[in-house]
Amino acid sequence: MLKDLWPKDISKAKEIQNVLRNMVMILPLEKTPELITAVDASFISNKVIAVATLYEYPELKHLQDAFCVEKMRFPYIPGMLSFREGRAIVNAVKRLNIKPDVMLLTVMA
């Protein structure tokens, strides 16, 4: 299913966004998180470089870093950055040895 979320054209990306929009649920956390991951992505040439850093919370003790470098597959379109960086970010997080309770994403307007 995940590979179906990475479209190659803008019309398919808009369709996916509309479907996902209706699936968003904002709920309170059931417990205080113990592990948090911060992620970010950058670009060089035609590559996306994504990094995930895992910390113990609330001490913010650094536990692990993971990264992923992938070929860029989607153009820069405001409001659709997840299709440009998302695959690499997901793959960086998957490379962590421990699954985080919470993930922090950088959003630049």
Mean of pLDDT values over 83-98? 94
Q: What is the pLDDT of residues 5-40, one digit of tens each?
A: 678 789 999 998 899 889 989 999 999 999 999 999
Cα angle 81-48-22, degrees, rounded to a multiple of 5: 30
pLDDT in tens, 34-77: 999 999 999 999 999 999 999 999 999 999 999 999 999 999 88
Question: Would you list the domain boundaries of the chain?
Answer: 2-105
- Kindly report the CATH class assigned to 2-105: alpha beta
Q: What residues have CB less than 8 Å from 7, skipping those under 6 apart?
A: 13, 15, 16, 74, 83
pTM of the model: 0.85
